[in-house]
Structure 1
């Protein structure tokens, strides 16, 4: 496809954007976010109160599961703050993001927003999307041919190992957040370092004060494993198993975002559990659209794509996992022969 053809098709998104804007779906929702952020804080506080009340008991592992969900919800709010969905200006968004992200759940704000911005700019692009880098999992046959070490070792049965690997995702986020602060040119290094360290100070102090050492380690392992599994399980259905792009791919903005994303059906329960990320196509097309507006944008986007003949992928939660895992299994097939 020629460059001029791509530019001409770029007007397709402009027409869709006008429809969305005219429907008022890019307007901020301050009352919604005030309620949602308050509920997130209350959920974490309730979990911490329950943790202290249960005390030095193995039942505290049930509290660990509840707090994994609560931390995940804080992560979703941090995500929305990073996209300027809550506040129009970056200043308030950054302040709130550092409180919820760095101090609340141990997620480095500057590192994560940079990484996630690059993902949105080039979703599923093998050269530019950090979410499909072959650090542990390989996502395509080209990556498989170039793989070495651990990724190649795991690739043979990576579909079976995918969810167990996600139990390490929270630790990966914590470690990557710290490592980013010690790179040359890191922004606001000392502020973010203080906030991250503050998170682990209150988190570990509470755990090891209330629980005996063995139970404290068990709580830490269960909570972080389930937290990582929860976060990873909400992001995995959105792009995994969808087409991957390379430098040879020539797509306009609308097609690049729609063809690499998948929506997850399921109603209100899925909306809450996935923090609105189940409307991934709409979110990628309009990253700063407030989460509660995404479901209203869906029929507009779906009908528009149908009129253009652009495939619009939807699946149930289990079906989306099945597509992702089958893709991973097919990628590793050459190693099983």
Structure 2
């Protein structure tokens, strides 16, 4: 799918389409909280987290510790998904409870700057796949459109020609990037609670590194760190890549009404309970973007209502397999890098 496809904008009844959908969702009871579900889910993830570190100590100075590193990478991803739901107020009604638990899971649990990430993610939800307004489309390493490619300098210009082939290898650095971005955000005076954010972040780093180098010899500790963080990054990237990459990109003043802005820039991924578990419910990305505070176990039920409603309106609703979503994302990245390949060819023939 072209990344800069034009999205039709309906102006005669702006906002009313989403209002009618919202009423159907509310009447179905799908915005109700699920305290029992989240109690079980958070308890399970916390138990796996503690169990993983207990296994790390028990395995000790053995190369089998790398299996623990891989296991903890998946657990870290699940902690990130829990923090995501907390940030969207799916778990707790009160803001204070959400902030405290979010910082415990994000900052202390996996070394993610919760306040920094929440601000970034909120801006993404407001303007998904908008070239100028969505922070997830910043061309800091990769270019996401041909227009970004034409203006690229530095690393994006260097990588852009072959970025589709480099995408998954680069995801091995995403865990490290998450930590670095959280630390860099501490220099921003507008970051809410940045002193607490910093204390919790560095407490995680200190505890993590102390555990590694106290239990393992240096070489093994470095190997554990590298495998754990690289697989964590790949897992996170594999969760988020199918959601919007390869979907239409908005530019300039192009701003459809809320329903179309969310539906037409998002992609769902087909699957059963295992897909829901592995992707944390974000495989129902369209429903999540329309109703971000909806508890994730309700998203599958909401999909039936949302898809039917979109058919009534004639609004495109895309759902693919996981592999197809990756193919579309990579094809979009390859297309975005076309201007850089053209320049390279011209320079080579000159």
Matches for 1:288-307 after TM superposition, within 5 Å: 288-307=293-312
Which residue is 2:45 aligned to? 40
State the distance in 2 between where 1:250 and 1:296 align: 28
Q: Secondary structure at the match of 2:191?
A: coil
Say which of 302, 315, 334 aligns to 1:329: 334
Instruction: Pick from 142, 153, 161 the counterpart of residue 156 of structure 1.
Output: 161
Correspondence for 2:275: 270
The answer on whether the counterparts of 1:6 and 1:250 sit within 8 Å (CA) in structure 2 is no
Aligned position for 2:228: 223
Equivalent of 1:51 in 33, 56, 59? 56
Match of 1:141 among 134, 140, 146: 146
Matched residue of 1:284: which SS?
Answer: helix
Distance in 2 between residues matched to 1:243 and 1:135, nearest whole Å: 20
The answer to whether the Cα contact below 8 Å between 2:149 and 2:340 also exists between their aligned partners in 1 is: no
Aligned partners of 2:277 and 2:160: how far apart in 1?
A: 33
Tell me the alpha carbon deviations over residues 173-201 of structure 1, each in whole angstroms, 9 at most, x when there is no partner.
Answer: 11111111112233212211111111111
Taking the aligned partners of 2:333 and 2:205, their CA distance within structure 1 comes to 34
Work out the CA distance in 1 between the residues paired with 2:16 and 2:174.
39
Equivalent residue runs for 1:1-337 within 5 Å? 6=11, 8-337=13-342
* RMSD between aligned residues: 1.3
**Number of equivalent positions:** 335
Q: What is the CA deviation profile of residues 298-330 of structure 1, one whole-angstrom value per residue up to 9, with x for unaligned ones?
A: 010000001100000111111100000011111
Deviation at 1:54, TM superposition (A): 1.1
Runs of 4+ in 1 over 3 A off after TM superposition: none
| 1: CA distance, partners of 2:179 / 2:113 | 7
Whole-angstrom distance in 1 between the partners of 2:56 and 2:304: 43
**Offset of residue 334 of structure 1:** 2.8
- Normalised by the length of structure 2, the TM-score is 0.94
Distance in 2, Cα, partners of 1:156 & 1:54: 44
Change in 2 beyond 3 A, CA 1:7/1:252: farther
Measure the CA separation in 2 of the matches of 1:122 and 1:336.
29
The structural deviation recorded for 1:5 is 5.0
* Counterpart Cα distance in 2 of 1:299 and 1:167: 36
Q: TM-score, normalised by structure 1?
A: 0.97
What is the distance in 2 between the residues matched to 1:239 and 1:209? Answer: 42
1:50 Cα deviation from its structure 2 partner: 1.2
Any idea what the Cα deviations from partners look like across 1:194-243, whole Å, max 9, x if unmatched? 11111111111111111100000000000000001101110000000000
Structure 2: 5+ residue stretches without partners: 1-5, 343-350
Measured in 1, the distance between the counterparts of 2:113 and 2:272 equals: 31
Q: Structure 1: how far apart are the matches of 2:255 and 2:55?
A: 53
Check 1:7–1:27 CA distance in 2 against 1; reply closer, same or farther (3 A cut).
Answer: farther
Q: Contact (CA 8 Å) 1:7, 1:252: kept in 2 or not?
A: no
Q: Deviations over 1:236-287 (max 9, x none)?
A: 0000000000123130000000000000111111110001110000000000
Structure scoring higher RCO (CA < 8 A, sep ≥ 6) equals 2
